[in-house]
Amino acid sequence: MFKVTPNPPETPNVSPCDTLDSKKLHQAAHRALDHYLRPPPSDKPRASSDRPPQIFTVAPDINPEALLAHTYETFCSASILTLDLSDDLEGKHRNLALAIYSLMELGLLLVEKVLDREHSVKV
């Protein structure tokens, strides 16, 4: 078969990325991600009208160990309540309650790990 047009001339495979510095590309990618994913830092505190109404406060000088222990107890109580509630539910609502229970158990594991690190027994 006869071709009407000739073959294109042979050219070396030149990529525009060959000349770019990978370090500069990496820095540009980080700047782009920071621009879209990180909110700009706020120099001023939020106005009280921006915050939801706050009923409870935590004392600023409270012992971190007490905070962890109270957090652990709160997670335990909420987990048990959710598990008991799931016994009375069926279908989608039961699955939702059990998913919430699983998340609370994960929170319990994380708090337990912190408590273990704070009070590890060295033999």
Assess if residue 92 is contained within a domain: yes
Distance (Å, whole) CA 84 – CA 101: 10
- Residue range(s) defining the domain that contains residue 90: 64-118
Contact criterion met (CB below 8 Å) for 72 and 115: yes
pLDDT of residue 123: 47
**Is the pLDDT score of 118 beyond 80?**
no
pLDDT of residue 29: 83
φ, ψ of residue 90 to 5 degrees: the values are -135, 155
Tally of structural domains, the chain: 1
pLDDT digits (tens, 9 = 90+) for 76-113: 999 999 989 999 999 999 999 999 999 999 988 988 88
Element (H, E) at 5: none
Distance (Å, whole) CA 18 – CA 14: 8
Assess if residue 17 is contained within a domain: no
Assess if residue 28 is contained within a domain: no
Distance (Å, whole) CA 64 – CA 92: 38
How sure is the predictor about 43, in pLDDT bands with cuts at 50, 70 and 90?
A: low
**Higher pLDDT pick, 110 / 42:** 110
